[in-house]
């Protein structure tokens, strides 16, 4: 079999498994994401929606080149700002030290941009059109609107918005996938975007559907998810691990 035919077969297998997941399945899976749980815990401590959104977005804009798994990093973030009177610089120095000088410089810019965002738009308005958030942060940070940290910030805003309001923001369909190392081990960014269109799953929701199972153990999946969702996620995880192994061997 040619490499092209094998690639098409692999994408076809993945597409078939992903097509079995409903929007409700994805919401349940997101609720089990340790990052989502970390934000729930933070909001329970803060009880201040605007501060909660600001902290979440600033941290998302600084979430690159981490020295620990993303799930652990967001748990540390939640614990720190739930219990500490320290500021963001102290948090970064403690938990996000890789390329520290660049991140401290970016922190000042991110804090300014997030403050400016909420001076311009109340969070309720951002929830009516997520594109407003992406376009504003992209322009203010001087990055492409498809840059990983920009679209990741929009994803974490979705989590925070759902925690505060119980709803998913509108306008998520036009936001690109937060393409990181986990996703790159399975397929290219263009392949993920094509799958999103073919499946009718918004890119940042497709990200959740793939990224979360890759970070969960089989025991976590069985414990945290109800049937039949747990069974579908286990099958998807098995296929993702197989595709990652095949891609890594090329």
Question: From the candidates 7, 129, 148, 242, which is the catalytic residue?
Answer: 148
Q: Is 148 a catalytic residue?
A: yes
Question: From the candidates 180, 185, 222, 242, which is the catalytic residue?
Answer: 180
Please write down the HEC assignment for all residues of the chain.
CCHHHHHHHHHHHHHHHHCCCCHHHHHHHHHCCHHHHHHHHHHHHHCCHHHHHHHHHHHHHCCCCCCCCHHHHHHHHHHHHHHCCCCHHHHHHHHCCCCHHHHHHHHHHHHHHHHHHHHHCCHHHHHHCHHHHHHHHHHHHCCCCCCHHHHHHHHHHHHHHHHHHCCCCCCHHHCCCCCCHHHHCCCCHHHHHHHHHHHCCCHHHHHHHHHHHHHCCHHHHHHHCCCCHHHHHHHHHHHHHHHHHHHHCC
Active site residues: 148, 180
């Amino acid at each position: 079999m040619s490499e092209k035919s094998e690639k098409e077969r692999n994408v076809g297998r993945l597409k078939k498994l992903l097509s079995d997941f409903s929007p409700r399945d994805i919401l349940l899976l997101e609720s089990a994401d340790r990052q989502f749980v970390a934000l729930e815990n933070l909001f329970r401590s803060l009880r201040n929606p605007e501060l909660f959104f600001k902290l979440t977005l600033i941290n998302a804009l600084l979430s690159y080149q981490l020295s620990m798994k993303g799930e652990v990093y967001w748990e540390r973030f939640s614990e720190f700002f739930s219990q500490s009177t320290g500021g963001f610089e102290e948090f970064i120095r403690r938990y996000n030290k890789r390329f520290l000088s660049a991140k401290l410089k970016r922190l000042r810019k991110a804090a300014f941009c997030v403050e400016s965002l909420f001076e311009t738009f109340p969070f309720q308005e951002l929830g009516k059109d997520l594109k407003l958030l992406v376009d504003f942060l992209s322009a203010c940070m001087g990055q492409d609107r498809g840059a990983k940290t920009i679209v990741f910030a929009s994803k974490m805003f979705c989590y925070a918005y759902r925690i505060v309001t119980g709803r998913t923001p509108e306008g998520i369909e036009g936001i690109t996938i937060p393409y990181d190392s986990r996703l790159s081990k399975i397929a290219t960014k263009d392949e993920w975007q094509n799958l999103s269109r073919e499946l009718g799953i918004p890119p940042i929701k497709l990200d959740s559907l793939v990224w979360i199972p890759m970070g969960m153990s089989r025991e976590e999946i069985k414990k945290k998810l109800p049937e039949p969702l747990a069974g579908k996620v286990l099958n998807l995880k098995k296929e993702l691990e197989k595709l990652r192994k095949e891609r890594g061997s090329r």
